[in-house]
Structure 1
Amino acid sequence: MTELRPPVYAEGRALLLVGLRQHHPQATAAQSILEQWEAFEALKRMPGAIGTTTYGVVCGNNPAEQTFEYMCGLEVADFDAVPADLDRMQIQSQRYAVFTHRGKVAKLRNTWAEIWNEWLPASGYAAADAPDFELYDYRFDRQAGKGVIEIWFPVMPEYDQNITKTLPQLLNL
C-alpha cells in the first residue's frame, strides 16, 4: 500500500470534456485503459482544447457486471468544433476530496483502493453520484509514466444519502 495523505477539499467547477470513452471489465482494466490512453494520445490535437491538462474520468460503474466506463479527455470551451467521432462529457460543479498520487501510473490502482477501502469508510463522507477523475498536468511525465496525478473524488456528507427519503420513512412510520 501507499501512504495516502489526507485530501484537500475543493469545489470543482463544471467541465466540458472531449475524448475517447470506453467500457472496461474490472479484471482487465489496467491493460485496456493503457491501450485507450495510447489511442487518445495518437489523436495529437483536439479542436477547441483548453490547455494541455488531460483527464481520466471514471463513470458508469456497474458492480453486477464488474465493468465501468472510462474517458480520456481534454477540456474544451464548448462542443461546437468537436468531430462527430469523439465523445463528449459534461461534468457538473461538485464538492471533491482531492488526493495526490505520486509515482508510477501503474501504482495508481493502489491509491484508488486506499481511497475506497480505507479513507472513505472513516471519512464521514459518502461517494457522491457523480464522475470522479484523474487530472494529469505538467507534473506528470507521460513518457516515463510517472509523476503527480490528482484524483478528484466527488463527496457528500454521509447524512445527505437520506435526503431522498421522506420523514415518515426515516421515522419508520
Structure 2
Amino acid sequence: MNATNTLPDTSTSVSQPRIEHAGPLLIAGFREPLDEHAQQKIPQLWQRLVANWDQIPQRMPPPDYGLCIHLKNHEYYYMAGVAVWDFDELPTIFSPFIIPSQRYAAFAHQGNVKDICTTIDLAFDQWLPQSGYRHATATENSLHFFERYGEKFDPQTGEGDIEIWIPITER
C-alpha cells in the first residue's frame, strides 16, 4: 500500500510518506559511532566509501544508503554503504549490515542533504506520533532509519532524490 497524499511543504510540516514493504537489503560500507563530531565524520565516511568502491565485490548500482543503527541505550553509529548481492569475498575493511524485510515509511527530502536532519526530525517528531504506526526497532544493534540516495542524487550539489525510510509497525 502506498500513501500519496501530501501536506504543504513548510518548515513545520513533513510530507506524507509512501508506505512500502522492502528488504532484505545487504549493505556493505564504512561506519563510525555518532557523536558530537558527526557532521564532520559522515561526509568523510562517504568520501572514503567512494574512494574504495572498486574494492566492493558484487556492488549494485544506486541507490546508495546511509544507515543510522541503534547499538544500545543512546549509542548509535552511521554507515555509508552500497547494496551488494552478497557478502562473499567482502574485504574486512568493510562492515556488512542487513536492512531487514519489513514495512517502512519513506519520506522525500526536499533540498540539500546538509538539511536532512530537519526531515528526519519532522518524520519522527511530527508524523510518527499522529500516524497510527510506531517505530519498529529492536533494543540493540537494529536499524533506526536509513537514507536512500537514488540515481538522481548529485553528490556535487548535495541535492536530488533523497529519502528517509523509517521502519514501522501498526500500533
TM range (shorter): 0.7 to 0.9
Higher share in helix: 1
Which AA in structure 2 matches 1:33?
I
CA contact (8 A) 1:48 1:78 kept: yes
Partner of 1:38: 47
Which AA in structure 2 matches 1:82?
L
CA contact (8 A) 1:103 1:148 kept: no
Shift of 1:55: 0.4
Which AA in structure 1 matches 2:125?
N
Partner of 2:165: 152
Which structure's CA Rg is the greater one? Answer: 1
Q: Provide, for residues 101-154 of structure 1, a one-character-per-residue CA deviation record: whole Å limited to 9, x for no partner.
A: 021001101110101111111111110015121111112101111112011110
Which AA in structure 2 matches 1:24?
L
* Equivalent position SS for 2:63: strand
The gaps in structure 2 that reach 5 residues or longer are 1-10
Task: Find the aligned partners of 1:75 and 1:11 in 2 and give their Cα distance.
Answer: 17
Task: Find the aligned partners of 2:77 and 2:30 in 1 and give their Cα distance.
Answer: 10
CA contact (8 A) 1:15 1:92 kept: yes
Shift of 1:28: 2.9
- Once superposed, what is the RMSD of the aligned Cα atoms? 1.6
Partner of 2:111: 103
Identity of matched residues, %: 34
* Equivalent position SS for 2:126: helix
CA contact (8 A) 1:56 1:70 kept: yes
Q: Provide, for residues 12-39 of structure 1, a one-character-per-residue CA deviation record: whole Å limited to 9, x for no partner.
A: 12111111021111x3322221121121
Which AA in structure 1 matches 2:52?
L
Verify: 1:18 aligned to 2:31, yes or no.
no
* Equivalent position SS for 1:41: helix
Which AA in structure 1 matches 2:158?
G
CA contact (8 A) 1:2 1:110 kept: no
Task: Find the aligned partners of 2:73 and 2:128 in 1 and give their Cα distance.
Answer: 18
Q: TM-score, normalised by structure 1?
A: 0.83
Task: Find the aligned partners of 1:3 and 1:61 in 2 and give their Cα distance.
Answer: 29
CA contact (8 A) 2:32 2:41 kept: no
Verify: 1:60 aligned to 2:79, yes or no.
no
- Over 3 Å counting, the alpha-carbon distance change for 1:61 and 1:101 in structure 2 is farther
The gaps in structure 1 that reach 5 residues or longer are 159-173
Task: Find the aligned partners of 1:29 and 1:82 in 2 and give their Cα distance.
Answer: 26
